[in-house]
Structure 1
Amino acid sequence: MTYSPVQEEWRRGWPVILAGLLGYGSASGFFIIASSLFIAPMQAELGWSAKQLTFLPIVVFLLAVFNPVAGILTDRWGARRIVIVGLCLYSIGVVGMAITPAKPYYLYAIAAFIGITAPLSSVSPVVKGVAGWFRLSSGTAFGLTLSGVSFISLIGMPLINYAIHSFGWRSGYMVFAGLSLVIGLPAVVLGFREHPQACSAPASSHPVLGGTHWREALRSTRFWSLFLALFLTSAALGGFLGHLQPILALKDFAVAQATILGVVYAVSVLLGRLVGGFSLTGFPMESLLAHFWFCRQ
């Protein structure tokens, strides 16, 4: 059977998207979305102020600082190795949250460890691994892969909420680790592969997108405009996510209602990323048809 170029990409690359979706979705991105579930229960048990328990900005700040390091390591050692190491270190970090002594500085130290190691299983290495398999449908592929956080949130947030209110907040962190070790890590080990000809294939069979050296990018107005836009957007979303559940609790929302609203937010992110991914690809009809064709195979 003869496949079109778009169909060939999806035929070969769909396992990589699925593995990247599960690996990325069960790591730090999900941690950032769901960590606000812990503030009220920890405050009630430990008697700390909300300010003392607001450790998410530490994670987000360090993740941003060390993202370039993750990119450098990915270029040197390969996306698959880096994501596997990142998932293991992330799991160690959240287990540390579960067993750490009830003292603020221990909590901050573990949060710093998660923030430093989080980029290893975040966007840079995951997208680098997927990018080698997709050129004609790269936007769609990236949108699907980065929707992993929303997919995991649909099952993870109710599960973590149940664990917290049934067995305590420490059990909730163990669920974080379990999702990463049971879903994300096996998926990456079994299905996440970089394209074997990503750097050496001829242009006719595996075209390479043009790029700019990082020194040139830093001198570009376009780069800094894009950086500022993404920074402001991420800062607003990060601040909102970190306090979503406590805000809802202060407004007398029941636990079940707050959890449902968190899931609704995750679904909205999912839809936004899918639409954004299709938009980057330019809504090519051939790409859309390839999705439906492949699902029937």
Structure 2
Amino acid sequence: MTVSANTAKNVATPVAQHEWRDGWKLVLAASFGFSFFSIMMAATGLFMEPLGKEFGWSRTVLSSGPSIATIMTAILGPFFGVLIDRYGSRKLALPGIIATIASVCTFGLVNGEQWQWITLWFIFGLVSVTIKSTIWTAAVVGVFEKSRGLALGLTLSGTAVAQAVIPPLGNYLITEFGWRLAFVWLGLGWGGITFLLVWLFLFDVHSRKAKMVAITNIEAEGAVDLKGLTVKQAVRDRALWQLAFSNFIVMTMTMGLTIHLFPILTEAGISREKAALLTAISGVAAIVGKLVTGYLLDRYRPNWVGGLTLAAAAGAFALLIDDISSPTLIVVALIINGYAAGTKTHITGFLTAGYSGMKNFGAIYGFMSALMALASGVGPLLAGYAYDSSGGYGPFLILGAIGCLIGGLLVITLPKAPSWTEA
């Protein structure tokens, strides 16, 4: 029996509304999961001043914590991606959330020894790899195909929600309860809600297959037929390496800016309260950026959408150079930074799935997310070193503008992705 290519494509490609009918709860749970992973990065700038005053720690020391955690997730990310391909997201995410809650709460026990700060971040990096972007992205891209861009946008907007909510919330908790209890409230409150949603709603292709087998009592061999590159093929793929380099450059610069954005604003003479509200603007813009970018990725050539968006982040660095005192320009810079920088993980996940397929997506995207984690560790250290050595953030901001332009160009020049549905 002969089946036309169009018919096969229609059968293989789910209708978008059916995907959302079956998967919107999964997107909700995954979005909260990624927001919980992001709270420590979003809150670090808030804790720099109180910890620096109480213990006399430098910006470099305080920046080293997130750097250590992200380097740990960079090392463990590819191995964890293999586990996702084998066991699925649900079985790994639930215990990971519990471990991460405990890790966040223990930051309130620091007594001034720098080794404690470093050790706690080491532990946080060790356990938080279980709830990094790989696990949520893998769950969503395995279920969504027709509306993958928008689904990823909503999922990864979790980090933007954290960026929008954590600055004012964290500053309030520090002011009212002290920095020690602020860590506890963030861990138990945000983490508890996340665990409940993931427990109720996070069912990816692996858990759905297991459920089908349990209901029918038939071993559904091949029920999950995933197409794509082998790991060896991915290693030799030029497009994936080009995407990886862009990913690393842009993430290094934008994460350095994100972690130091709060002190950059206070160094310019803005009060902590206003700086917290201004920082939240970036989070709101990031939510808009993820949703708009997701819509555009589903409809236009993804490398042009992604490349232009990443290159636009250079504008935020340029506007913040030389301690700009104009409130209007500061707000514009924060909106640009939030919109463009907030799409990095989204664009990387979408393009990785497009160029690699889903056969070994966990392992391949695990490598990509490892690079993002490594860059997230290098960026804050680079910005902190620039401040400590030059007395300001000017050199880092100039380097950031150049880096984002290069990263955007690398994505724009990517070749057209293969069609794995038709393969």
Which runs of 5 or more structure 2 residues have no equivalent in the other structure? Answer: 1-13, 213-219, 301-423
Alignment size in residue pairs? 276
Equivalences for 1:6-45 in 2 at 5 Å?
A: 6-27=16-37, 29-45=38-54
Equivalent residue number for residue 189 of structure 1: 199
**1:71 matches 2:102:** no
Contact 1:38–1:169 (8 Å) recurs in 2 = yes
**1:57 matches 2:67:** yes
C-alpha distance in 2 between matches for 1:228 and 1:153: 25
Contact 2:164–2:279 (8 Å) recurs in 1 = no
C-alpha distance in 2 between matches for 1:118 and 1:69: 14
**1:262 matches 2:288:** no
C-alpha distance in 1 between matches for 2:42 and 2:165: 13
Contact 2:165–2:283 (8 Å) recurs in 1 = no
Equivalent residue number for residue 290 of structure 1: none
Equivalences for 1:1-297 in 2 at 5 Å?
A: 5-27=15-37, 29-54=38-63, 55-195=65-205, 196-197=208-209, 210-282=227-299
Deviation of the 1:244 alpha carbon: 1.5
C-alpha distance in 1 between matches for 2:95 and 2:85: 15
C-alpha distance in 2 between matches for 1:201 and 1:141: 28
Contact 1:9–1:133 (8 Å) recurs in 2 = yes
C-alpha distance in 2 between matches for 1:239 and 1:62: 17
Contact 1:58–1:111 (8 Å) recurs in 2 = yes
Instruction: Show CA shifts across 1:36-62 (max 9, x none).
Output: 111011111222222222222212222
Instruction: Show CA shifts across 1:228-286 (max 9, x none).
Output: 00001111111112212222222221111111121111112212211221222117xxx
C-alpha distance in 1 between matches for 2:29 and 2:289: 21
TM-score between the two structures when normalised by the length of structure 2: 0.61
Larger displacement relative to structure 2 (210-219 or 14-23): 210-219
Report the AA paired with residue 143 of structure 1.
G
Contact 2:42–2:162 (8 Å) recurs in 1 = no
Equivalent residue number for residue 295 of structure 1: none
Deviation of the 1:209 alpha carbon: 5.8
C-alpha distance in 1 between matches for 2:247 and 2:236: 18
Secondary structure of the equivalent of 1:243?
Answer: helix
C-alpha distance in 1 between matches for 2:275 and 2:33: 26
TM-score between the two structures when normalised by the length of structure 1: 0.86
Instruction: Show CA shifts across 1:184-205 (max 9, x none).
Output: 11110111111324996989xx
Larger displacement relative to structure 2 (6-15 or 193-202): 193-202
Q: Which protein, 1 or 2, shows the higher relative CO under an 8 Å CA cutoff with sep ≥ 6?
A: 1
Report the AA paired with residue 58 of structure 1.
I
Contact 1:87–1:180 (8 Å) recurs in 2 = no
Report the AA paired with residue 270 of structure 2.
F
Contact 2:73–2:126 (8 Å) recurs in 1 = yes
C-alpha distance in 2 between matches for 1:269 and 1:64: 23
Instruction: Show CA shifts across 1:116-135 (max 9, x none).
Output: 22221011111111223211
Point out the structure with max Rg over C-alpha.
Answer: 2
